Amino acid sequence: MIPNAVKQAWSEGRPTLNGWLGIGNPFTAEIMAAAGFDSLTIDLQHGFLDYSDAKAMLQAMRASGVTPIARAPWREPGIIMKLLDAGAYGIICPMVNTAEEAADLVAMVRYPPRGNRSFGPTRVSFSAGANYPAEANDQVMVLAMIETGEAFANVDAICATPGLDGIYIGPSDLTLGVTNGRLPAGVDRTEPEMIETIKAIQAAAKRAGIAAGLHCGTPAYAAQAVGWGFDMVTIAADSALLASGSRGAVTEARALLGSGAGAGSGDKPSGY
């Protein structure tokens, strides 16, 4: 089986860069995969895509060698097992609030005797190389999202779950949960109370000997998070990159062209 490069990096003490895919399109996934990320996560929870999209995206990403991860829409065995069978090397699961839920999640990604994953590696038996059934339990990774007040209260017990490879912080839901909506949702938190909360979750993961991941909005914040000890940082999402790149190009063009450029006129340059 082709080794899980992200798990290998963590075992060597090297942090990894993760990208986020929310656009259900194999071409955008292929472009992101060629950018040099260590891993890419296909977002089936909030992304504008479904399982049919994810299949083609996994195929498009294969040539790059990037480690494919999927965020499941929920802690539900059917879709989690299908994503693994399609080729995902890792599962990020939202809204894991207790140690019991974490243990249930782990069982979904491990074959017996370490779990209850159903056997049927349809595509992954080809994409992952030989000996997948014997090595998958060790190579496939599973991360529980810590993003509610309840999960934060139970973080030590969740992190101590046997077989859990790591936790992943969703700052938006975490902020809403631990402040009961007092602070607005968003990534790259700067409030002292939220920084303290994020660092406390990372410390719980370290005590348990598992990895800690953080969803970031900028490379600068991601670098700061690595300085705090995070093992995986998400630094860019396809939709955000497309939006910012488009806005930047238009803003620069209008500044260079001056007031003569019609704002949003829809006129096309000659040759179109």
For 59-102, write each residue's pLDDT tens digit.
Answer: 999 999 999 999 999 999 999 999 999 999 999 999 999 999 99
Query: Quick one: how many helices (H) and strands (E) in the chain?
Result: 13, 8
When pLDDT is cut at 50, 70 and 90, the band that residue 269 belongs to is very low
pLDDT at 38: 98
Collect all residues with Cβ–Cβ distance below 8 Å to 212 and sequence separation of at least 6. Answer: 166, 167, 168, 169, 201, 202, 205, 206, 229, 230, 231, 232
CA dist 133 and 138 (Å) reads 10
Is residue 271 scored above 80 in pLDDT? no
pLDDT in tens, 141-192: 999 999 999 999 999 999 999 999 999 999 999 999 999 999 999 999 999 9
Looking at the chain, the whole-number percentage of residues with pLDDT higher than 90 is 94
pLDDT at 268: 46
CA dist 146 and 60 (Å) reads 30
Q: Given its phi and psi angles, is residue 256 left (phi above 0), alpha (psi -120 to 50 degrees) or beta?
A: alpha
Whether 46 is catalytic: yes
pLDDT at 259: 59
pLDDT at 262: 64
Looking at the chain, the whole-number percentage of residues with pLDDT higher than 70 is 95
Q: Which of 133, 106, 131, 107 is nearest to 120 (CA)?
A: 133
Q: What angle, 0 to 180 degrees and rounded to 10, lies between the N-to-C axes of helices 219-228 and 192-208?
A: 50
Q: Of 46, 112, 253, 261, which residue is the catalytic one? A: 46
pLDDT at 261: 62
CA dist 74 and 243 (Å) reads 27
pLDDT at 260: 58
In contact, 142 and 90? CB cutoff 8 Å: yes
pLDDT at 158: 99
Would you call 62 helix, strand, or coil by DSSP?
helix
